[in-house]
Structure 1
Amino acid sequence: MPKQIGEASVTVAIIQMEPRFGETAENVARSIAFMEEAAGKGAQLAVLPELCNTGYVFQNRAEARALAEEIPSGPTTQAWMEAAARLNLHIVAGITERTGEILFNSAVIIGPNGLIGRYRKMHLWGDEALYFSPGDLGFPVFDTPLGRIGCHICYDCWFPESFRLAALQGAEIVCVPTNWVPIPGQDPSREAMANIIVMGAAHSNSVFVAAADRVGTERGQPFIGQSLLVSHTGWPVAGPASPDKEEVLIARVNLADARRKRNWNAFNQVLRDRRTDAYDEMLGSGQRPGWY
């Protein structure tokens, strides 16, 4: 059952790491070492980057398929489930998924008692479309003892509908495994565009956002780091992290504030004020609203 409003806060860890392409066993072992570090600092929820078990820059579909695994029977999910049970930890982490001949850019949501669910990236970026199929699970929100958890992956964040549908289903926090890359026109004196986007989404939907990016350069592609945890107000409570170093961010937040403190003033509440006479309540998605 989800926690009740006003219950104890949750300690969230954002794990910013540098996976090595194709070195799955080593990547998973290092991810678990970071989880152990986070759990040692009291973390109850750990968020890791996109495709952090395999790396990101595939050269062809055959390479992606060779590195993909089934969920939950594959070795990565099995290892993460063991770690979650041992560390009493909830985990959201990116994984290259195979189901039959279909490949997905996915994330697993795992708790101490095992697999809670999975999310498949809905909006593919660049040549991901050559290897992966678009997500087919919509935007599920998962009830956990810590609270209601939604999940997006990287480019999903550029679509306001993603966050709105999660919020309308009662999400208190949206976890984002991501591999942010440099954006053309970025002002080096300003925060990353990705940071601005998730801050705006958190504010306009009254949800916490935990975005775990990777660092390093893989097959010529640089990644920007700058992972962060954003409050339901839109302001960071941890991070942004370094643009080029592995790092574990830790912050304690009350996820219930995402719903309890959603009113901005005596008149305005961001989800209640929607004009559902002018647009479909669930944006035509067919998903069911939750309590919000």
Structure 2
Amino acid sequence: MIPTQIAVLQFAPEKGEVQSNLDRVGEMLDGLNADLVVLPELFASGYFFNSTEQAHNLSESATDGPTVSRMCEWAAATGATIVGGLPERDGDLFYNSAVVVTPRGWLGTYRKTHLFYEETLHFTPGDTGFQVWTVTDRNNRSYRLGAMVCFDWFFPESARALALKGADVIAHPSNLVLAHCPRSMPIRALENHVFTATANRTGRESNGRETLEFIGQSLICSPSAETLASASGQEEGVFTVRIDPRQARQRQINPYNDLHVDRRPELYAS
């Protein structure tokens, strides 16, 4: 069996420099051999906006804006499904979104459910709910891909919702500043028996009043809580691993226990 190759990209974008950030990512993806590539949250716009006006001015369509157009070009050139974050404009509403594109074009958009810190000033909480799409690798084998964005990881229900909807792999574009996520993602993968691919950014960014430092440490985790690939705090690069997404579908822990069958949701309500 030829494995499916998944990758996370880590770099330090410059706030507001959309074109140069897109060019930088394009250079990093040039010649890449991968079936799935996960890019950071808000990877072309930058993250820590000086004002709501700046955030909205940098927002664009999540189906045919400049960032999605470039993502579609990269997907066509590499044969990969690509997931990346952008500030989305939809009429008079603005969202922190993750877009999924394939070599055939735009596939779907997920709008971040759990906004973090000053995101709550600039964006509307997502209204799409957690979604799972069927995609194929370059050998035409299908698997189920879910998406969540950065702070969604803090809420166990996010990854659980995606797993219950059949996700084999969870793409996780991120701009992490809290230290806990790299320790937690192996557990999210284990408790849901899925692969996770967290793509974080590096560097610092200021809104003119405060500076955030991003922790890097992008990582790919297995359903057995193994860290299959990882980056350091400040290095830039594309980090890849070969997997069989179908391994996520065997959720039987032993002859008597199944991770999904044994759930008792009637007792979980608050």
TM-score range for the pair, normalised by the shorter chain length: over 0.9
Q: 2:217 aligns with which of 187, 207, 226?
A: 226
Three-state SS of the structure 2 residue aligned to 1:256 is helix
Q: Measure how far apart 1:96 and its partner are.
A: 1.0
Aligned match of 2:243: 253
Aligned match of 2:82: 91
Aligned match of 2:140: none
Q: 1:26 aligns with which of 10, 20, 23?
A: 20
TM-score, with normalisation over the residues of structure 2? 0.93
Matches within 5 A, 1:238-277: 238-239=229-230, 241-260=231-250, 262-277=251-266
CA distance in 2: counterparts of 1:269 and 1:18, whole angstroms:
41
Matches within 5 A, 1:202-217: 202-217=189-204
Q: Measure how far apart 1:246 and its partner are.
A: 0.7
1:118 maps onto 2:109 in alignment: yes
CA distance in 2: counterparts of 1:277 and 1:44, whole angstroms:
39
Q: Measure how far apart 1:265 and its partner are.
A: 1.6
Three-state SS of the structure 2 residue aligned to 1:26 is helix
Aligned match of 1:11: 5
Q: 1:148 aligns with which of 132, 144, 147?
A: 144
Three-state SS of the structure 1 residue aligned to 2:257 is coil
CA distance in 2: counterparts of 1:60 and 1:243, whole angstroms:
27
Matches within 5 A, 1:26-105: 26-37=20-31, 39=32, 42-105=33-96
Three-state SS of the structure 2 residue aligned to 1:18 is coil
CA distance in 2: counterparts of 1:197 and 1:182, whole angstroms:
11
The residue type equivalent to 1:160 in the other structure is P
CA distance in 2: counterparts of 1:132 and 1:226, whole angstroms:
26
Q: Aligned in 2, Cα 1:246/1:270: closer, same or farther, shift over 3 Å?
A: same
Question: How much is the aligned-residue C-alpha RMSD, in angstroms?
Answer: 1.4
The residue type equivalent to 1:24 in the other structure is V
Structure 2 gaps, min length 5: 138-142
CA distance in 2: counterparts of 1:248 and 1:83, whole angstroms:
14
Q: Measure how far apart 1:71 and its partner are.
A: 1.9
Aligned match of 2:267: 278
When structure 1 is superposed on structure 2, of 60-69 and 263-272 the one drifting more is 263-272
Q: Measure how far apart 1:18 and its partner are.
A: 0.8
Q: Measure how far apart 1:178 and its partner are.
A: 0.3
CA distance in 1: counterparts of 2:241 and 2:126, whole angstroms:
30
Q: Percent identity?
A: 38
Aligned match of 1:180: 176
The residue type equivalent to 2:9 in the other structure is I
Q: Measure how far apart 1:105 and its partner are.
A: 0.5
CA distance in 2: counterparts of 1:21 and 1:225, whole angstroms:
17
Three-state SS of the structure 2 residue aligned to 1:52 is coil
Residue-pair matches, total: 261
- Give CA-to-partner distance per residue, 1:36-77, whole Å, 9 cap, x none: 25x2xx211110100001000012111011111112221111
Matches within 5 A, 1:157-196: 157-183=153-179, 193-196=180-183
TM-score, with normalisation over the residues of structure 1? 0.86
Structure 1 gaps, min length 5: 1-6, 184-192, 284-292
CA distance in 1: counterparts of 2:74 and 2:240, whole angstroms:
18
CA distance in 2: counterparts of 1:214 and 1:63, whole angstroms:
20
The residue type equivalent to 2:197 in the other structure is A
The residue type equivalent to 2:78 in the other structure is L
Q: Measure how far apart 1:278 and its partner are.
A: 2.1
Greater fraction strand: 2
Q: 1:236 aligns with which of 201, 209, 227?
A: 227
- Give CA-to-partner distance per residue, 1:148-176, whole Å, 9 cap, x none: 10001111001111111100110000000
Q: Is contact 2:229-2:239 (8 Å) kept? A: yes
CA distance in 2: counterparts of 1:131 and 1:206, whole angstroms:
34
